Amino acid sequence: MSMTSGLIAIKGDHIDQLTTIFGFFNLTDTGKEEVLTSWEAAENIIDDEYMNPADGLQRRIVWVDNGWTIIEDYSFLLCMDEEAMATVSRTFKTPVFSLQTIGTSGCYGFHYYHLEKLRSFFNEDGKVVDNFGKPLPEETGYNFNTDAFYDDIHGLARNLGINLDNAANVGRYIVKHLSDNTAVDFLAPQSLQQQQPDHTAVRKPWWKIW
């Protein structure tokens, strides 16, 4: 199993508001979208986005599961944008959660907003570099310290009702075609920026560890 994952989850069904949501991340909806019924097909698009970066366009996979609208972000370009996530939460008056895990570098973190930033945590290779706010009740039973790991981040997510492992069972995935208005990775920690793949040297999705 890959220890690398990234997503943003917005409480509620916000499929009809995706143009507005992506706009907060400086991404413009081109008006083109597809509907897939296979998670394998969705993964193939994620792979293709990896193989063809920096063309000014992005395709993002979005689905609704257990009352959350989930946007995949294996690139980590969105899930560290605190201002945009806070804006989404305020605009729709709903919780917003993001997570990012990179097993190869020991980086595990999350953000949680409800009208404002309430909680964030980031463990970078055994060093806690962010531990903001009061622990959430859903953190009980998991490690949010120097021992924080993939299972802790995703355990919290599952307690909130967000289960990435269930993505393959959803059966309906929206592919949004977006244009990139600006570089949106400026807020990412250096350790995450360093994980961006060498596209000339690697010919497999960087977020899959085989």
Record the pTM: 0.86
Give, in order, the Cα–Cα distances in Å from 150 to each of 54, 103, 113.
28, 7, 21
Tell whether 207 is covered by a domain: no
Tell whether 167 is covered by a domain: yes
Tell whether 57 is covered by a domain: yes
Question: What pLDDT is recorded for position 52?
Answer: 72
Tell whether 188 is covered by a domain: no
Tell whether 198 is covered by a domain: no
Tell whether 200 is covered by a domain: no
Band of residue 2 on the pLDDT scale cut at 50, 70, 90? low
User: Are the CB atoms for 77 and 184 separated by under 8 Å?
Assistant: yes
**How many domains does one find in the chain?**
1
Tell whether 84 is covered by a domain: yes
Mention every residue, 6+ apart, whose C-beta is less than 8 A from residue 186: none
pLDDT in tens, 118-135: 999 999 999 999 999 999
Burial class (CB in 10 A: 0-12, 13-18, 19+), 42: buried
Tell whether 129 is covered by a domain: yes
Segments forming the whole domain that contains residue 151: 5-182
pLDDT in tens, 45-96: 988 887 776 678 899 999 999 999 999 998 888 999 999 999 999 999 999 9
